[in-house]
């Protein structure tokens, strides 16, 4: 169990962290420069917080009382594993020497290194130097080197950011397995939503030095607590609306001159609120569920006609930029993401007129409403 509660002034923002990490992978997710790496450095003792308390398995490794540092265990006695973004392998040491460096002089060092070499699938590479290894192999040496020392917690700073997708997928699975067999608190820093979801049990969204939202990953994705979280997690369509009706069954919102059915939320009629809908949750409508379909029962809820103004292919999906028919804006109103096979089946292209539905249950009400988004 790793418990953090500290503050540190860094540049022009205040780092403020208060959370506990059990035997799980906690992902610190946020944009570059949000302070994620600084949090890791504070845990590892590479950076000294201004005040607060950090403890690991019940041992206090950092503590201040009334602004004075009472306890600050030096990095080399914290028994934490740290995997750096650029791996930080020692270029003058072989794979085996790198892995053995943290256990040098210990009686069972050789055996532990040999076991770790096998666990990390580095057999036959022990004699190589880091520069003779691929990125994925270097990454495995870095993780193995940290784990050989039997750390009480593992800290990883964007470890997969420089790797190609296939290697990354494999390493993600490796890491999940390692965490499960070692039962360690793992803190994983990333700005990649994919990494965050592949690895994290819980996600802490970091923004400008503070934890914007902390929760199970599905919750963070599906119920962002703020506009910032919605933006970081790729909600794309984030809007302001006014509540015109509020019942236990749901809200009715007024948005850009349209009525929208939304899930229930404790909001009064007349209140302003923020809501969002992920681009992959917007549905493309066909024949029978069109807003103008003959049978009212088959008509989709929250359906709108409009035009595709632009599109970007993203490989497996296509992003369409959709402008409502009666839109007051010059640009687009909604971003819609479709799998490529749907895109080709509908024979879609720019300028084509289509109908979409913002399904009620896909609409997320963001409880806090801010006049202006934080930047």
Partner 1 sequence: MAWHPLVLSLQVASLATVVVLVVGLGLALLLARARFPGRSVVDALVNLPLVLPPSVLGFYLLFVLGRGGPVRDLLGINILFTWMAAVIASATVALPLMVRTSKAAIESVDPNLEKAARTLGVPEWRVIKEVTVPLASRGIVAGLVLAFARALGEFGATLMVAGNIPGRTQTAPLAIYDLVQSNRIREANVLVLIMTVVSFVVLLGVGRWQKTWWR
Report the residue number, 38 or 237, with the smaller CB distance to partner 1.
Answer: 38
Report the residue number, 85 or 319, with the smaller CB distance to partner 1.
Answer: 85
We find the least distance from the C-beta atom of residue 88 to partner 1, in angstroms, to be 4
Residue in 92, 341, 347, 375 binding partner 1, rule: CB under 8 A = 92
Q: Which pairs with CB-CB distance under 8 Å and at least 24 residues apart come from 222-227?
A: 222/364, 223/364, 224/276, 224/364, 224/366, 225/366, 225/367, 225/368, 226/366, 226/368, 226/370, 227/274, 227/276, 227/366, 227/370, 227/373, 227/374
Look at strands 154-157 and 186-190 and give their pairing.
parallel
Mark 72-91 with x for binding to partner 1 (rule: CB under 8 A) and - for no binding.
--xxxxxxxxx-x-x-xxxx
Mark 19-48 with x for binding to partner 1 (rule: CB under 8 A) and - for no binding.
-------------------------xxx--
We find the least distance from the C-beta atom of residue 46 to partner 1, in angstroms, to be 5
Report the residue number, 67 or 91, with the smaller CB distance to partner 1.
Answer: 91
Regarding 201 and contact with partner 1 (CB under 8 A), the answer is no
We find the least distance from the C-beta atom of residue 102 to partner 1, in angstroms, to be 3
Report the residue number, 106 or 288, with the smaller CB distance to partner 1.
Answer: 106
Report the residue number, 56 or 338, with the smaller CB distance to partner 1.
Answer: 56
We find the least distance from the C-beta atom of residue 138 to partner 1, in angstroms, to be 13
We find the least distance from the C-beta atom of residue 190 to partner 1, in angstroms, to be 18
We find the least distance from the C-beta atom of residue 147 to partner 1, in angstroms, to be 11
We find the least distance from the C-beta atom of residue 87 to partner 1, in angstroms, to be 9
Look at strands 25-29 and 186-190 and give their pairing.
parallel
Contacts of partner 1 in 234-253 (CB under 8 A): none
Report the residue number, 47 or 193, with the smaller CB distance to partner 1.
Answer: 47
Mark 127-166 with x for binding to partner 1 (rule: CB under 8 A) and - for no binding.
--x---------------xx--x-----------------
SS (H, E, C) the chain: CEEEEEEEEECCEEEEEEEEECCCEEEEECCCCCCHHHHHHHHHCCCCCCEEEEEECCEEEEEEECCEEEEECCHHHCCCEEECCCCCCCCCCCHHHHHHHHHCCCCCHHHHHHHHHHHCCCCCCCCCCHHHCCHHHHHHHHHHHHHHCCCCCEEEECCCCCCCHHHHHHHHHHHHHHHHHHCCCEEEEECCHHHHHHHCCEEEEEECCEEEEEEEHHHHHHCCCCHHHHHHCCCCEEEEEEEEEEECCEEEEEECCEEEEECCCCCCCCCEEEEEECHHHCEEECHHHCCCCCCHHHCCCCEEEEEEEEEEECCCEEEEEEEECCCCCCCCCEEEEEEHHHHHHCCCCCCCEEEEECCHHHCEEECCCCCCCCC
We find the least distance from the C-beta atom of residue 177 to partner 1, in angstroms, to be 23
Report the residue number, 100 or 204, with the smaller CB distance to partner 1.
Answer: 100
- Residue 178 CB neighbours (<10 A): 17
Contacts of partner 1 in 102-121 (CB under 8 A): 102
Report the residue number, 81 or 306, with the smaller CB distance to partner 1.
Answer: 81
We find the least distance from the C-beta atom of residue 240 to partner 1, in angstroms, to be 44
Binders of partner 1: how many residues, by CB under 8 A?
25
We find the least distance from the C-beta atom of residue 74 to partner 1, in angstroms, to be 8
Six-digit token pair at 278? 């992920």
Report the residue number, 110 or 313, with the smaller CB distance to partner 1.
Answer: 110
- Candidates 68-76, 218-226, 279-287, 358-366 — which segment interacts with partner 1 by CB under 8 A? 68-76
Chain positions contacting partner 1, by CB under 8 A: 44-46, 74-82, 84, 86, 88-92, 101-102, 129, 145-146, 149
């Amino acid at each position: 169990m790793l418990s953090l509660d500290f503050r540190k002034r860094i540049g022009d923002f205040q780092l403020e962290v208060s959370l506990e990490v059990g035997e799980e992978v906690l992902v610190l997710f946020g944009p570059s420069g949000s302070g994620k790496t600084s949090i890791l450095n504070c845990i590892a003792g590479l950076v000294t917080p201004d005040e607060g308390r950090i403890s690991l398995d019940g041992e206090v490794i950092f503590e201040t009382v009334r602004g004075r540092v009472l306890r600050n265990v030096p990095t080399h006695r914290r028994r934490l594993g740290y995997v750096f973004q650029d791996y930080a392998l020692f270029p003058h040491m072989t794979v085996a020497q790198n892995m053995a460096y943290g256990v040098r002089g210990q009686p069972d060092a050789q055996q532990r290194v040999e076991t770790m070499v096998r666990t990390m699938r580095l057999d036959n590479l022990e004699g190589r130097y880091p520069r003779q290894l691929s990125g994925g192999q270097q990454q495995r040496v870095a993780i193995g080197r940290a784990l050989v020392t039997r750390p009480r917690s593992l800290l990883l700073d964007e470890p997969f950011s420089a790797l190609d997708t296939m290697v990354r997928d494999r390493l993600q699975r490796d890491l999940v397995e390692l965490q499960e067999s070692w039962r360690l608190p793992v803190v994983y820093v990333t700005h990649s939503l994919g990494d965050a979801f592949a690895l994290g049990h819980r996600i802490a969204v970091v923004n400008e030095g503070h934890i914007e939202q902390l929760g199970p990953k599905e919750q963070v994705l599906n119920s962002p607590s703020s506009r910032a979280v919605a933006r970081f997690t790729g909600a794309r369509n984030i809007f302001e609306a006014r509540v015109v009706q509020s019942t236990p069954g749901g809200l009715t919102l007024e948005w850009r001159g349209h009525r929208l059915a939304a899930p229930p939320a404790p909001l009064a009629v007349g209140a302003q609120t923020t809501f969002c809908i992920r681009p992959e949750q917007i549905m493309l409508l066909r024949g029978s569920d069109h807003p103008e379909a003959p049978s009212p029962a088959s008509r989709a809820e929250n359906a709108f006609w409009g035009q595709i103004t632009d599109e970007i292919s993203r490989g497996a999906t296509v992003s369409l930029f959709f402008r409502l028919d009666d839109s007051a804006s010059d640009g687009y109103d909604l971003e819609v993401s479709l799998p490529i096979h749907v895109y080709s089946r509908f024979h879609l292209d720019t300028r084509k007129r289509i109908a979409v539905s913002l399904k009620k249950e896909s609409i997320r009400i963001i409880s806090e409403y801010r006049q202006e988004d934080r930047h």
